[in-house]
Structure 1
Amino acid sequence: MKLIKSYFYITFFTLFTISIFGQVKNIGLPDVRNYKRNEYKGGTQNWNIGQDKNGNLYFANNNGLLQFDGSSWRKYPLPNLTSVRCLKIDDSGKIFVGGYNEFGYFQPDTKGRLKYTSLAKQVDKSKIKIIDFIWKIHSFNNQTIFQSFARIYIFKNGKLSILQAPKRFQFSFVVDNKLYLQDVEKGILEYKDGKLYALANTTSLNNTEIWGMYSLAKNKILIITLEKGLFVYENNKVIPWDTEANNFVKKNNSLGGVTINNSSIVLNSVLDGIIICDYNGKIIQHINRKKGLQNNTVLTSFIDNKNNLWLGLDNGIAFVNESSPFTYFGFSYDISTVYASVIHDGNLYVATNQGVFYHAWNNSFKEDVFKLVEGTTAQSWNVQVVENELICSNNRGALVIEGGKVTHIIDPKGYFGFKKIPNHPGFYIGSNYDGFAIFQKTPNGLVYKNQILGFDKSSNSFELDESYLWLKKDESIYRMSLSNDLTRFSSIKKINQLTPKFKNIGSLQKIDDRIYFQTNNHFYKYSKEQDIFFEDKNLTKLFRNIPVINALSEDSQSNLWYAFNESLGVLMKQNNKYKNIVAPFSNLTGNLVSNYLSVNTIDSKNIFIGLTDGLAHYDSQFLNNFVKKPKAFIRSFSFPGDTIILGNNQNKTENIRIPYSSNHVRFTFSSPTYENLENVEFSYQLEPFDDKWSNWSTISLKEYTNLREGEYTMNVKVRNSYGVQSLPAKLSFTISPPWYRHFLAFMFYFILILVGIYLISTRIKMKIRKNKYYETIEQRRLYLEKESKIRQEQYDLEKEIEKLKNDKLQIKILAKDKELVNNSLQVVKKNKILNGIIHKLKEIDVEALDDSTKFQVSKLNKSIVKEVNTDKSWKDLEKHIKNVHFEFLKRLKEKYPTISPRELDLSTYLLMNMSTKEIAEIMNISTGGVELARYRLRKKLGLNKKENLIGFLMSI
């Protein structure tokens, strides 16, 4: 009952404060982005801020006018190089500025460059020698009014008029379309119809400087002074505004402020940053150096077109993201990495890596830090309410927290968390460093019963149903059955995959009191009866177009929070349907705690998300349309010799034509999207040069070189940190062709071709006539040449015939020689036979024969000897052998000049394949002489023992 009352009180308080505070959250701190002077390349102090229709921001800086388009800074100094103290942008886009002894306006020229026009030159220097500082500029009733200490300068219709201060002006303000000025003697004056009228009873403020005036209600004006605090002017009376905000201003001094949506006021201070209060003076937010600002002295504040807050500091510039549904509790609240959060007994508790911290939930968060729960200084994995008892799962054990300290330790082992056991009323199971333990609820609180035996692995990811305890460890799950007495695991089964299609298991979660197992965004349930995992098609369908998740959690409102790629998303349940929301959480990418998805949903306006560097507060109903479509600009277009700057409220630049010699072009992009600038990305396409859009990139510059002549269109899109894309910005330009590819050049080429054709045709005709004459002569010459050639061919043919006849005759002679050689060889053989017969006859004993026989034998012997001696076949043989083998002997002699005639004969005989005996007979030497001659021949021919002599001779 106590918890219900506390919850009702918290909900009522939250709804009440949100309805009052409007667009400013009083829980946590908004994101703050500081810009240092080395970033914007200007002076330290920034006195005034403005914004044009395109979203570009302007800062009155000590070094001149600063312009910021979300991608780059530009600086525009005054002619006398003095500081700019104020600025005002009128409806025409002119940027009026004022400094010391100088005031005027910047306006873009035809090429987008901001050009300065001085209005101070219209002041008669003979009458007014020193203009002094221009502190305020107002657009009022079609006039632009420049206010200095001594006078106001009224610029209307190009002319300047002057109104002198009664004594000395301080500052001036426009409230409810009325212009007020403070005079140090007359008090607050109203400027009307060119005259000044004093407000009654305002001289009491003459001894202090007024830095701001704002309307609180009809005929009720809030006056902000430098040192005296806050006052309200109502019914012609000035009375102190006795509020929290007034106490802050009195303590820290104020330099004015700005209103937010007519519901809250930003008050700048000299000593302690800013506060944001409601119209009742109650402080909603306090942002100072400790909470993110780089400097505590705030000179000016400004609300941009997206209700975000810009601060001009004494040293730098700050951007405060007030339009975001996120605020943060970080280092300024003394908390670090958050693993879990819970609300109990009117306090918000967070479990961190340094212990458990708490803060009163029903008090303002603007000042207090979180306090450490005594006794929890260690890694705390979880903090949860169990049977109305706050239990911390800590490295030191299971701790009971009450009254801001640990009252007792249930079990000293380290724990991850606790869950209720189904079908066992009053019993809980805790996951610890050694496995699991059983706890029981008693009248004295939760008590430790026993460690469950049989399993010693631990994890923070586990769930229970009526039959099993399911544990996810690494990429597997364990299915475990508890014994009836809860002392041991009766069965344990490790499961590495749910289906053959998917190997690993991504997450384990309980949704609508059913346990689901997720792998690759496919969700499965377990059937005990069939002992199988079957897919839940409806739940899988919800995650069809979502990146693969690694964690999923259902909150108290039945919303499904999921983590993917270090990012976060949620399926918000609305009328039994789910709406996927991802864009707002892109700013948390990379800051979520790995493997610990911590989302604590109290209601739709109060959702806490654990981060690596603190705690984020998310209001899902805060500015539902805050993610607007961004705008993309082609900020500048440069080419050698010129630069065109776009997006400065100038008229559209048309018919951009650049020479071919300047076909090296450069584009810069911008988007007046100032939230999370590091995540703003651009994509571009130059038509028709690029076939498709480029990949998304944070680089806001693109160059193209050596473009051909033709018409081009540059398209640029921007995607903000929430993933929302803009419509494309376009810029068309034309590159003129080089002179030799110009239209006039092609006309010249055409005429030149026609003249060339005429000259060529005339010359061809003359050539034809001339060629006909020469052709006749050439034909005659060719005829004579042909006739001479025929005669020569006839002569050559006759010589060829004669040669063929000679060759044929030579062939016949060679054939006869070969035949004669064969015959001669036969004769030689015959003589050998006859010599043999002679030797046989000599062996006959003639004396033993009778005279007649002896005479016949002697006669036969003489006849044979005569035949042998008179035979000249050998000489013929040598002659014919040389004739037949003339070419061979010639080649041999040329190759071996030192060879002798005798060796030539031997070579011929060897070539004829004659035996040693036959050679010996022919050469009339012994067989040994033949062998010696062969040896000498081999030596002269340079043959070794293994080479065949006859084969070598045949190869010559």
Structure 2
Amino acid sequence: MRFTKPYILIFLIFLSFTTIGQVKNIGLPEIRNYKRTDYKGGTQNWNIDQDKNGNLYFANNNGLFQFDGSSWKKYSLPNSSAIRCLKIDDDGKIFVGGYDEFGYFKANSKGKLVYFSVSKLINNENIKAIDFIWKIHIHKGEVVFQSFTRAYIFKNQKLKLLESPNRFQFSFQVKNQLYFQDISAGILEYKNGKLFPLKGTAVLNTTEIWGMFPMPGNKILITTLDKGLFIYDNDKIIPWETEANNFIKKNSSLGGVTIKDTFIILNSVLDGMIICDLNGNIIQHINHKKGLQNNTVLTSFIDNKNNLWLGLDNGIAFINENSPFTYFGFSYDLSTVYASVAYKGNLYVATNQGLFYHSWSNSIKENTFKLVEGTTGQAWNIQVIDDQLICAHNRGALLISGGKVIKTLDNKGHFGFKPIPNRPNYLVGSTYYGFTIFEKTAGGLSYKNQVGGFDLSANTFEIDEHNLWLKKDNLIYQLTLSDDLNRFKSIKTHKNLSNSVKGIGSLQRIKNNVYFQTDNRFYKYSQEQDLFFEDKKISAVFKDVPKIYSLTEDNYSNIWYIFSESLGVLMKQKNGAYKNTIAPFSSLTGNLVNNYISVNTIDPENILIGLTDGLAHYNSKLQNYSASKPMAFIRSFSYPGDTIILGNGPNKIEMLKIPYSANRVKFTFSSPTYENLENVEFSYQLEGFDDRWSTWSSISIKEYTNLREGDYKMKIKVRNSHGIQSEEAVATFTVSPPWYRHFLAYLFYILLVIASVFFIRNRVKMKIRKNKYYETIEQRRLYLEKESKIRQEQYELEKEIEKLKSDKLQIKILAKDKELVNNSLQVVKKNKILNGIIYKLKDINVESFDDSTKFQFTKLNKSITKEVNADKSWKDLEKHIKNVHFDFLKRLKEKYPTISPRELDLSTYLLMNMSTKEIAEIMNISNGGVELARYRLRKKLGLNKKENLIGFLMSI
């Protein structure tokens, strides 16, 4: 949707400014254009109506279009023909007429508009074609569908026909009367099912009548396509020779509508529309140049808030007539406005393009503002000082008279001028490079000098009896002028107003005193004490005011202030108190000029406000209907499988149940509030899901997913551009639980748990009994095992005892063997000694002995030899060893059959742990022979070098 908002303010005309009702003859109202691409419709919007819920309906070439303030919806006739007319009755039925089709739309149980054809009641044998239905009227309980050939009267679900005398043009309702125009019979009045001609109206048969409106004194205003305007009075048709008639004759009429029987809106083919009073004086003229997207107005409609809707040949327009604001902007050749002033019959406006003016004694509805000659460029201010008009301009300080510059006081760029207290003949001006002094002389204002000692500049400065104050770069400069005004004799800066108050927000003059403000606390300066002190009385006035950025006091002691790019005013009351007003100015938010608050209060009905794209005119005496409480609607409620639409008639959502599988819901919101739509905001809360209300937002859609089962209540409220909140709109619904969390499912779960407990209990009992049985068996088995184990341990103990005994015996045997071996070795040693003795005795020469000695010697030798030969200890030893180690020798022989007897003996000696020396002596071989025998034995046994021979033999 495209929004064209020509902020156009036309500066009033002192005596010609008349405001009757809500229509203003100063400037233009807010205009909002809806293009075909916004509502995705066709060309030509023929008719407009509104239902009780505030929804608007448009009869369009592509069908019926509904607008709820948030979204557009399209509804078509069965034959998809263009809709030329519509009318809504008190029951919410939307009667429509198209080509060869007419009937009505009505909301079904789910809120969707469903079409019911009335034309089906026609007997097709008698009527071959219906043609276009051009007008629909609800007249005394009857619904009248008018085509060119006849009218169809619908009542109590029955249809009757009203034939035209020749051919109908159009039909009109004027208060309680219904009139038809016939191309040959003139204007006909419909009464009790019949047509009665009005006298004297046949003179209009050569033209098309497009509108009939009530006038005072039971007169009727008739608008024609190409003949102009006429008054029907006392059976006579009289031309209405007025300003409005001249306009219609020039631009052709397409009908219109009245506003409270006070104003008449007249549509035209060529030049938009006009609003005139009952005397035919044009109050407003709105066309393409002034903001309409199309100059052909096919229909006009006044909604329930007295705003104007226009159905155009291409598009739709909304005109905010109920607002106390009108605007002057591009169509009046105005750009950014920094200041305005009314002076000697002219209205002067300082803009970024120069100083413009307009006469203030003639109508300015059509004329643009003119540029004051020589002022092209940035004009910062325009002021009346001592009955002289002086402009602060980029080109310097300029004196203005009429439409031209009469004198350049100083060629340096200036921001503004202020009189010097106690020095009535002097002015101080703020320039781009400090300050200048102007002197009032007999010849008028003249430049005196540049003030020395200070070269900073700013548009925000004030002056009192002692100091000139300048706010710049978050600092306040306190400047004291010398007596001759040639220089500043002292300059101080202030960063804070006190130790506890940081920063300085603004500098302004209130009640002729200079005030310094920060965080809505206002301070004055004490020259005697050289400090700032708070004026609690003024601070109290701003206690409940939003944090301000800057302010100005007008001629009526009203205090205008800027906050968050918005405007507010503290209106001075008769009792001296102030009334804070913010809401009416919400439409100006974002359009005010930064750092320049331009409010020119000529009187309470003429307040001019500078904007970035023109000038706004505000009449504080007019009632602002848009400040009433808005309505909020939950426009639709959708979930997978179904959609319920609210706001189409009286239907409401009862407690609705949706399945758990469809627990994704979407809501759309709407509010039939059409003023300042960009500032309309919604807030919502889904009770059962949201803990608090959502923040305000212009988004009109909300979706929830994965909702758990339970009861929910969707609440929605809307806040209009004036900050006024609506009542809550509510929709309740229930999300059914999934089958596995259904009540019956829980009942089944309980029964299942009980059965499971019973089953488990019996199983446990059986298990316990079985376990006890098996426990008894197990205990018996364990007892037997333990008994068997004890017996086995007893047996093994006995075997161990036997083994110990055997080992002990074996040890004893081995000990005896060792002892026997030792004894045998002693015998062997003895024999060896004896053999040595025998050997040595052989070396003795016995021949030298005497016989007795020789006998004794021989006897000794024989005795020794006998002892040696008679000793059998070694053979006994060998026999004993073999007997003791018989089993070992047997196992060794079985395992190694190739082993020799001598190797068996060696193995026995090794098993007995005999040393090499002992073995050598027993076997009568050398130690080396023992080692060789050991090597051969290892080889025969298959042992490697690392294996222990004795350990191996012991393991056999």
Same fold (TM over 0.5): yes
TM superposition shift of 1:344: 0.3
Deviation string 1:646-699 (CA, Å, 9 cap, x unpaired) is 110142221211111111111111111111212211111111111111122111
TM superposition shift of 1:738: 1.1
State, as a whole percentage, how many aligned pairs show the same letter. 69
Q: Which residues of 2 match residues 73-152 of structure 1 at below 5 A?
A: 73-152=72-151
TM superposition shift of 1:787: 4.9
- The match for 1:312 is 311
With normalisation by structure 2, the TM-score equals 0.81
TM superposition shift of 1:413: 1.5
Change (3 A) 1:625 1:276: closer
With normalisation by structure 1, the TM-score equals 0.81
Change (3 A) 1:786 1:715: farther
- The match for 1:293 is 292
- The match for 2:484 is 485
Answer yes or no: is the 8 Å Cα contact 1:23–1:261 preserved in 2: no
d(CA) in 2 for partners of 1:556 and 1:795?
A: 131
Deviation string 1:834-876 (CA, Å, 9 cap, x unpaired) is xxxxxxxxxxxxxxxxxxxxxxxxxxxxxxxxxxxxxxxxxxx
- The match for 1:645 is 645
Deviation string 1:376-395 (CA, Å, 9 cap, x unpaired) is 11111001111111111111
1:374 aligned to 2:377?
no
- The match for 2:415 is 416
TM superposition shift of 1:564: 1.7
- Find the residue that maps to 2:161 and give its secondary structure: strand
Q: Higher mean Cα deviation, 756-765 or 182-191? A: 756-765
d(CA) in 2 for partners of 1:787 and 1:55?
A: 103
- The match for 2:45 is 46
- The match for 1:187 is 186
- The match for 2:686 is 686
- The match for 1:526 is 525
TM superposition shift of 1:430: 1.1
Deviation string 1:87-134 (CA, Å, 9 cap, x unpaired) is 000000000000010000000000011000011111111111110110
Answer yes or no: is the 8 Å Cα contact 2:305–2:625 preserved in 1: no
Change (3 A) 1:796 1:621: farther
d(CA) in 2 for partners of 1:485 and 1:794?
A: 138
- The match for 2:563 is 564
- Find the residue that maps to 1:160 and give its secondary structure: strand
Deviation string 1:184-228 (CA, Å, 9 cap, x unpaired) is 111111100001111111111111111111111131111111111
TM superposition shift of 1:545: 3.2
Q: Which residues of 2 match residues 839-854 of structure 1 at below 5 A?
A: none
Answer yes or no: is the 8 Å Cα contact 1:604–1:619 preserved in 2: yes
Amino acid at match of 1:576: G
Answer yes or no: is the 8 Å Cα contact 1:438–1:452 preserved in 2: yes
1:774 aligned to 2:774?
yes
d(CA) in 1 for partners of 2:643 and 2:85?
A: 29
Amino acid at match of 1:727: E
Change (3 A) 1:783 1:391: same
- The match for 1:607 is 607
d(CA) in 1 for partners of 2:304 and 2:340?
A: 35
d(CA) in 1 for partners of 2:496 and 2:745?
A: 74
Unmatched segments (≥5 aa) in structure 2: 1-11, 804-956
- Find the residue that maps to 1:328 and give its secondary structure: strand
Answer yes or no: is the 8 Å Cα contact 2:16–2:363 preserved in 1: no
Answer yes or no: is the 8 Å Cα contact 1:63–1:81 preserved in 2: yes
Answer yes or no: is the 8 Å Cα contact 2:660–2:737 preserved in 1: yes
TM superposition shift of 1:534: 0.7
Q: Higher mean Cα deviation, 419-428 or 770-779? A: 770-779
- Find the residue that maps to 1:740 and give its secondary structure: helix
- The match for 2:633 is 633
1:302 aligned to 2:301?
yes
Change (3 A) 1:727 1:799: farther
Unmatched segments (≥5 aa) in structure 1: 1-8, 804-956
d(CA) in 1 for partners of 2:463 and 2:45?
A: 60
Change (3 A) 1:802 1:291: farther
Q: Which residues of 2 match residues 475-874 of structure 1 at below 5 A?
A: 475-574=474-573, 575-787=575-787
Answer yes or no: is the 8 Å Cα contact 1:229–1:249 preserved in 2: yes
- Find the residue that maps to 1:585 and give its secondary structure: helix
TM superposition shift of 1:798: 12
Once superposed, which parts of structure 1, at least 4 consecutive aligned residues long, lie more than 6 Å away?
789-803
- Find the residue that maps to 2:609 and give its secondary structure: strand
Answer yes or no: is the 8 Å Cα contact 1:387–1:441 preserved in 2: no
Q: Higher mean Cα deviation, 532-541 or 169-178? A: 532-541
d(CA) in 2 for partners of 1:358 and 1:219?
A: 44
Q: Higher mean Cα deviation, 722-731 or 55-64? A: 722-731
- The match for 1:865 is none
d(CA) in 2 for partners of 1:198 and 1:755?
A: 91
- Find the residue that maps to 2:245 and give its secondary structure: helix
- Find the residue that maps to 2:340 and give its secondary structure: strand
- The match for 2:873 is none
TM superposition shift of 1:361: 2.0
- The match for 2:882 is none
- The match for 1:178 is 177
Change (3 A) 1:294 1:800: farther
d(CA) in 2 for partners of 1:555 and 1:161?
A: 67
Amino acid at match of 1:733: F
- The match for 1:385 is 384
Change (3 A) 1:10 1:293: closer
TM superposition shift of 1:500: 2.6
d(CA) in 2 for partners of 1:10 and 1:79?
A: 54
TM superposition shift of 1:457: 1.2
TM superposition shift of 1:801: 13
1:434 aligned to 2:395?
no
d(CA) in 1 for partners of 2:152 and 2:793?
A: 119
Q: Higher mean Cα deviation, 418-427 or 792-801? A: 792-801
d(CA) in 1 for partners of 2:691 and 2:455?
A: 60
Change (3 A) 1:355 1:791: farther
d(CA) in 1 for partners of 2:214 and 2:789?
A: 123
Amino acid at match of 1:564: F
TM superposition shift of 1:417: 1.0
Amino acid at match of 2:22: Q
Change (3 A) 1:783 1:85: same
TM superposition shift of 1:402: 1.0
Answer yes or no: is the 8 Å Cα contact 1:147–1:171 preserved in 2: yes
- The match for 2:220 is 221
Change (3 A) 1:799 1:76: farther
The alignment yields a C-alpha RMSD, in angstroms, of: 2.1
- The match for 1:161 is 160
Residues paired across the two proteins, number: 793
Bigger-Rg structure (1/2): 2
d(CA) in 1 for partners of 2:341 and 2:467?
A: 27
d(CA) in 2 for partners of 1:460 and 1:101?
A: 69
Change (3 A) 1:364 1:801: farther
d(CA) in 2 for partners of 1:739 and 1:133?
A: 56
Answer yes or no: is the 8 Å Cα contact 1:109–1:650 preserved in 2: no
d(CA) in 1 for partners of 2:219 and 2:247?
A: 21
- The match for 2:854 is none
TM superposition shift of 1:751: 2.6
- Find the residue that maps to 2:627 and give its secondary structure: coil
- Find the residue that maps to 1:430 and give its secondary structure: strand
Change (3 A) 1:765 1:262: same
TM superposition shift of 1:794: 9.0
TM superposition shift of 1:773: 2.9
Q: Which residues of 2 match residues 351-362 of structure 1 at below 5 A?
A: 351-362=350-361
Answer yes or no: is the 8 Å Cα contact 2:14–2:360 preserved in 1: no
Answer yes or no: is the 8 Å Cα contact 1:430–1:439 preserved in 2: yes
d(CA) in 1 for partners of 2:717 and 2:474?
A: 40
Answer yes or no: is the 8 Å Cα contact 1:560–1:570 preserved in 2: yes
- The match for 2:364 is 365
Amino acid at match of 1:469: L
- The match for 1:859 is none
d(CA) in 2 for partners of 1:450 and 1:713?
A: 75
Deviation string 1:288-346 (CA, Å, 9 cap, x unpaired) is 00000000000000011111100000000000111111111000000101000000011
Answer yes or no: is the 8 Å Cα contact 2:22–2:324 preserved in 1: no
Answer yes or no: is the 8 Å Cα contact 1:435–1:455 preserved in 2: yes
TM superposition shift of 1:542: 2.4
- The match for 1:941 is none
Q: Higher mean Cα deviation, 719-728 or 698-707? A: 719-728
Q: Higher mean Cα deviation, 575-584 or 244-253? A: 575-584
d(CA) in 1 for partners of 2:282 and 2:494?
A: 56
TM superposition shift of 1:786: 4.9
